[in-house]
Structures are given as C-alpha cells and as structure tokens.
Amino acid sequence: MNQKADYAIYNLFPAKGVEYLPGVNFYRHWKKREDYAEPVLIYQPLGNIWVAIEWAALRLGILTLAKMISIAEGHHLSRPPVITEAIKQLGTRYSPEFICFPYKVILGYLLFAGRRFEKLRGQSLYPLFLSHEGPLCRERAYGRLQESKLSELYQQEFQKQDFDFYIAKESLAGLLELIALFQKISGKSFLAVVSIINAAIKRLDIVEKFEDEVRHSQSLGVDFRAAEKILEEMKEAIVQDEISPSRVLKQAQEKLGKLHKPRSEAKVIYITGEIFHIEEAGSCSGDVLREIARRGFYPKKRVGLGHYTPRFQLTISRFARFILAYYGIPVRHKMKE
C-alpha cells in the first residue's frame, strides 16, 4: 500500500486520538487544545495566491493574518503584507549561507508574519503556518526545514512554541490531507470544502488571466497607473465576491478597453529565469513583470501560478482514480501525481 495514500485516507476518515507525526503534519495542536483556541492562517503571498486563500478562508470561516490586520487597522480589504527587502534580509540572517534564495525569502516572511501575529494575538488564537513541498529540488524539503527553524526562533523570541505548521503537498494524497485539515477547522463537509477550494482556484485563474491582459495593454502605451488601478480593484472585487467572478472580469475588461492605446502592436519580451524570482516573489529590485510593463514591453509568461493550481483541484474523475488505485484496481493516470 502506498504510504502517502494511507495518510490521505486516514485523514479523510480519521480515527479518534490521531497524534501529530513529525514530517507528516497530522494537526499537532488542533485535536487536544483544552482552551478551544482558533487557528489564524499565515501563508507567504506568492504572486496572486492571496486572492484564492483569502476568498476560501472567508467561506470556510478561517481567520487569516491578513484579515486580523485589516480588522485591527479598520479597513475592509484582507490583503497580506507584501514581501519587502527587509523581509528578505531577515530570512537571509537566519538561513544557512549555502541554501538557495527562495528558502530565505519564505523563512523571512513566516518569521515576520509570526511577529505581526504575536503583536495582535488574543487568548483564543494561535498561528497556523502554511507552507508547501513539491517535486522540485528547492521545494522538496523546504517546509520541514522552515518548521524546524521557526520552532527554534519562536522559542528564542517568545519563549514558547505555541504554533502549528502545515505542509501542503503537491499530490492528490496531499490535497486530500489538506481538505481534511480544512474540514476539521471549519466543521464543513468534504464536498463543501472541495467546492470552496475549486471555486477559489477558479478566481485565482481569472485574476492571472486579467493581469496578463493588463500587462499587454500597458505595453501598448495605456496610462500605466490607470491600468494598474483597474487590476487592483478587480482583485478586491474577486475577493469580496459581491458579484460573480465572470461579471467582475467582464466589467474590468470593459474599463481596460476604454483606456487610450497609443500603439497597436505590443513589444513582446520573453523572460527566462528561476520562477520564484520572476513570478512568485519578484526580484530584489521589485516586481519584474510590472517593471517591464512600465517600460513599454509586454512580459509574456509561459509558466506561472496556473502551473501549480491543477494540483490543488479535486475533480470527480481524479478522486475516482485515487480510490481505485488505493484498492489496487489498475487505472490509467492522465495526470502525474
């Protein structure tokens, strides 16, 4: 029996008294907290991922650090703090010199976010850090290293280790574990959680599509700030969900289409490089794609967040293949898990 499949099924239909297993993340604090404390979700805001997470968290009844900050500061938009140079330097300070840059950025952000949480926390709240691991060399062990280092730093700074750390895995087994976590926290059914996650990813994909349209329009010479404002307003509307996402997209496209375009043909520039630097967290000098568009070029992306989102969607056929494989029934895999 596949070990990952065992973990996933065990989480889908959990037995009572399940213990936390190091490196597996079986909800270390959630089961036995006598004070009924609620988790506050903390994650690194790579690209537009915050749109999907904030929308889903609101519907799952899960408090996020971004929402916590918006309440404290008296504004309605739940948008997490951005990754800054100070955050990158913070991660570099506490990371081994030989480890690659993306690890340092994420560690710095998680520590920064933990500090923000500690300033705002209440007696009934505790932080739930969300990280991930994937098949690429740089992602395979990041989550576990971050968990270990964050535990050490929490002990040094706050004299306690009262936090949970969950690693989302880029596989179907990992997705089922993540669904089980959200079930436990929200109290919603399996199907309800799946529906919310899939809908959140749809909204993320819509934002990514429209952002590409904005970058193309900016390369045609439209007012850069006006186009950027339309993009940011569109993101806010998608997260708030006051109207359907397709209608939000249509309204944003109509506004963008009214901007004067001095040029009829875009000057396309293709970028090659490590995806984390170019797409997920920007470069050391800021957001590469936005800066290229500001200079009148169209930064054409071949890989972005859309490369990852299918791994966190659950369709009927995908779930059926998993169940058949779990019971030893041969199936043809259309997607590499």
Task: Write down the pLDDT at residue 26.
Answer: 40
Dihedral sign of CA atoms 77, 49, 209, 225 in order = positive
- Name the token pair of 163: 């936090």
Residue/partner pairs of 306-312 with CB below 8 Å, 24 or more apart: 306/205, 306/208, 307/275, 308/134, 308/170, 309/201, 309/204, 309/205, 310/335, 311/170, 311/171, 311/175, 312/168, 312/170, 312/175, 312/178, 312/197, 312/201
| Residue-by-residue DSSP string for 272-284 | -S-HIIIIIS-BT
What is the reported pLDDT for 210?
A: 94
Whole-number Å distance between alpha carbons of 88 and 206:
29
Half-sphere exposure of 166 (CA within 13 A, CB side): 24
Q: Do residues 271 and 282 touch, judged by C-beta distance below 8 A?
A: no
Residue in 71, 60, 85 with CA at minimum distance from that of residue 116: 71
Q: Can you give the pLDDT at residue 269?
A: 80
Q: What is the pTM assigned to this prediction?
A: 0.81
pLDDT value of position 33: 46
Q: What ranges in the chain are assigned the alpha helix state H?
A: 3-12, 49-60, 65-73, 85-93, 101-120, 142-158, 172-186, 190-219, 224-240, 245-257, 275, 288-294, 316-326
Q: What confidence score (pLDDT) does residue 331 get?
A: 62
Yes or no: say if 114 and 76 are a contact pair by the CB < 8 Å rule: no
Question: Do residues 299 and 289 touch, judged by C-beta distance below 8 A?
Answer: yes
Intervals of the chain under pLDDT 70? 1-37, 123, 136-139, 160-161, 273-286, 301-307, 321-323, 325-327, 330-337
Q: Report helix, strand or coil for 71.
A: helix
Among candidate residues 183, 181, 68, the one with its CA nearest the CA of residue 132? 181
Amino acid at 42: I
Taking each helix axis from N to C end, the angle separating 245-257 and 190-219, rounded to the nearest 10 degrees, works out to 10
